[in-house]
């Protein structure tokens, strides 16, 4: 086994198409003992932990089998909670406890061919990797028929004190000519700069608790959709209240975006599908499964549904002559960062893709098992991924892929990944290593890729075809983050 990325334990040399890994030292016996004990004890204290948190292999296998069978039974929920407790008891936030691992080859095809050109990447390897992620992680979208209607609900050309035009547009879905339930509507909020002529580039992303949270502008329609409860934010009995208006102002910096000459486009993720395992039929997967159907083990979960919805939002932008739909920067934070990466991988119309603290199942390498692991995320959020992803709970080394391969699917389009120093749950080092190992896909296209080989200093962004920063602070989107993304967009949109 090769220990890939502990500083001082390897050097990386480049060939025209491949990285070579040269191990400089091996683990000492004391360090190996520490690693094993760390894995057994874990770095996370679980309230009420007991002997059940260290079950025997037969007990784990029994519960994993139930999990793989899927469903919504009491037995499934018992298995999920038991395994979640078990996997959380093995979490580490200590770099010394990262196990040895070897990443799957990015530039070697399934039949052993070395990928040496952009043409080979596009025609062969990219499709192989995309298929692997569809089958094993996010799930494939099944075939189904639907129609869309775009309805402009309101327009105010003097929004934000005359700085912007605010438009609110609904995407309504129909099947076989029949209008579907009202909850199957994606409500877009769009701010357009008034000082710029012609179609403008856009920053687009999903929000967590309704369009009204991104700005206190009282002209923004208050979402009426189901939401996860959050009294501090103003979500009472699973519905937004006026208290939520403008709560996430600093995450979106609407005026800053507009002043830079960009449109801002957003929608509530719950319009596409609520973030709850029991509410699939209140979202777009209803189009595929109706009142009774269920996803197959290799079919889409909620993250893929959000990604699908982002593509439908881009469909609308193609019809809006005020926006340059070929210059859309897609940005997502946390779980919505995972969705943004998958949308960027599956829909090459997105010109730039930005991941903000997306962590496990997003930009961070799974094999590092640092912070949130595959087992933890699957048993915490059983609706997010294809059920097949459960096969790799605690078995990350058996994955036929890792997240650097997801990032490589964005190539040759610009990609930006951002981490936060205190966001250990999202594994900042794993996010950086992931873009480092995705960079060869950009080099195939004659691009620089990531312009550094070591993680940059705090608050010192680096920008090539791949951009990266790690800032001070916690899991969040800050005004400083938004500024870097706009700088990156300026660089690539000229």
Task: Provide the annotated active-site residues.
Answer: 334, 475
Report the C-alpha gap between 453 and 436 in whole angstroms. Answer: 7
Based on the number of CB atoms within 10 Å of its own CB, is 310 exposed (0-12), middle (13-18) or buried (19 or more)? buried
Q: Of the candidates 5, 3, 86, which has an alpha carbon nearest to the alpha carbon of residue 49?
A: 86
Q: Take residue 96 and report the two structure tokens written for it.
A: 């010394």
Report the C-alpha gap between 459 and 477 in whole angstroms. Answer: 14
Who's near 4: CB < 8 A, 6+ residues apart? 10, 21, 101, 102, 103, 433
Q: Of the candidates 150, 147, 109, which has an alpha carbon nearest to the alpha carbon of residue 129?
A: 109
String of DSSP letters for 94-151: -GGGPPP--PPPSSB-TTSPBP-SHHHIIIIIHHHHHHHHHHHTS-BPPP---EEEEE
Question: Are the CB atoms for 371 and 406 separated by under 8 Å?
Answer: no
Who's near 430: CB < 8 A, 6+ residues apart? 363, 364, 365, 368, 370, 371, 403
Q: Per DSSP, what are the bridge partners of residue 347?
A: none
How many residues are listed for the chain in this entry?
494
């Amino acid at each position: 086994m090769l220990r890939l990325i502990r500083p001082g334990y390897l050097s990386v040399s480049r060939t025209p198409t491949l990285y070579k890994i040269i191990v400089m030292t091996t683990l000492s016996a004391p360090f190996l003992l520490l690693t094993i004990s760390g894995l057994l004890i874990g770095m996370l204290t679980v309230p009420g932990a007991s002997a059940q948190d260290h079950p025997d292999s037969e007990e784990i296998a029994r519960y994993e089998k139930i999990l793989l069978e899927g469903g919504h039974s009491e037995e499934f929920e018992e298995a999920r909670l038991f395994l979640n407790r078990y996997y959380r008891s093995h979490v580490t936030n200590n770099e010394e406890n990262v196990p040895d691992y070897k990443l799957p080859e990015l530039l070697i095809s399934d039949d052993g061919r070395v990928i040496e050109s952009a043409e080979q990447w596009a025609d062969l390897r990219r499709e192989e990797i995309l298929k692997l992620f569809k089958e094993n992680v996010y799930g494939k979208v099944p075939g189904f028929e639907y129609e869309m209607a775009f309805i402009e609900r309101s327009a105010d050309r003097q929004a934000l004190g005359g700085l912007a035009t605010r438009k609110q547009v609904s995407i309504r879905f129909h099947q076989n000519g029949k209008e579907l339930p009202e909850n199957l509507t994606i409500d877009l909020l769009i701010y357009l700069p008034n000082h710029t002529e012609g179609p403008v580039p856009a920053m687009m992303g999903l929000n967590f608790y309704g369009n009204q949270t991104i700005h206190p502008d009282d002209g923004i329609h208050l979402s009426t959709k189901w939401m996860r409860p959050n009294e501090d934010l103003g979500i009472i009995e699973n519905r937004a209240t006026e208290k939520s208006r403008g709560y996430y102002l600093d995450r979106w910096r609407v005026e800053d975006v507009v002043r830079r000459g960009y449109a801002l486009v957003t929608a509530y993720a719950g319009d596409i599908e609520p973030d709850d395992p029991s509410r699939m039929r209140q979202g777009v997967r209803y189009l595929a499964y109706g009142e009774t159907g269920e996803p197959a083990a290799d079919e889409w979960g909620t993250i893929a549904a959000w990604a699908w919805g982002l593509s439908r939002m881009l469909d609308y932008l193609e019809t809006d002559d005020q926006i340059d739909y070929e210059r859309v920067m897609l940005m997502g934070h946390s779980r919505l960062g995972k969705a943004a990466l998958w949308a960027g991988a599956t829909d090459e119309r997105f010109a730039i893709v930005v991941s903000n603290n997306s962590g496990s199942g997003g930009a961070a390498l799974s094999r590092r098992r640092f912070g949130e692991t595959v087992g933890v995320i699957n048993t915490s959020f059983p609706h997010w991924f294809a059920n097949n992803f459960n096969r790799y709970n605690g078995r990350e080394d058996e994955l036929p892929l890792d997240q650097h391969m997801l990032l490589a699917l964005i190539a040759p389009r610009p990609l930006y990944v951002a981490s936060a120093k205190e966001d250990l749950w999202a594994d900042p080092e794993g996010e950086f290593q992931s873009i480092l190992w995705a960079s060869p896909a950009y080099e195939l296209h004659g691009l620089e890729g990531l312009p550094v080989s070591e993680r940059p200093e705090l608050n010192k962004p680096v920008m090539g075809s791949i951009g990266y920063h790690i800032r001070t602070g916690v899991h969040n989107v800050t005004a400083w983050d938004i500024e870097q993304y706009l700088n990156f967009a300026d660089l690539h949109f000229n």
